Amino acid sequence: MKNLDTSQRLRETTRLLIRNLGFLDRSEAVCCGITLTQCHTIVETGRRKQISVNELSELLNLDKSTVSRTVEQLVNNDILVRQPDLSDRRYVVLQLTQKGEVLFGTIEQRMAVYFTEIIEEIPKEKREQVIESLQLFSEAIHKKRCC
């Protein structure tokens, strides 16, 4: 990979990163008996305490109909509940049920352990550099995608 120019090296590194992260997502989600989209929906809802389908669709970069189907499955499985917004009754927000909160906690705990193990594989003096680089990379992708 050393013979490639900077943009080619970035592309190849990103390709491998996505492949490795895809494996992570699949293996972790399967452990909890849910799909990847369901997993991401639970995590985003749990972190925000309440969220709309539109907000979820934007966050997950998924079509609203896909998110709606996912939400419906999670509602039917007693993981999510739809609630009218207290400030605008026409607006519906999603919240985790007690069962959903437990699942959210399990997902967060597993991810915390996994990423602790990953960061420990990186030399201590490089850890902050890796995190900062990933933040810059993520921001650059977001800017290119949305603007």
pTM over 0.95: no
Q: Is residue 59 part of a domain?
A: yes
- The mean pLDDT values, 10 residues at a time, for the chain of 147 residues are 73 77 59 81 93 89 90 95 79 92 92 87 94 88 71
Q: How far is CA 137 from CA 3, 59, 107, 128, 142, in A?
A: 22, 17, 25, 14, 9
Tell me, what's the pLDDT at 125? 97
Tell me, what's the pLDDT at 2? 64
Tell me, what's the pLDDT at 28? 56
Which residues span the domain enclosing 67?
Answer: 35-146
Split into its structural domains, the chain has a count of: 1
Q: What is the CATH number of the domain that holds 96?
A: 1.10.10.10
Q: Is residue 8 part of a domain?
A: no
Q: Is residue 12 part of a domain?
A: no
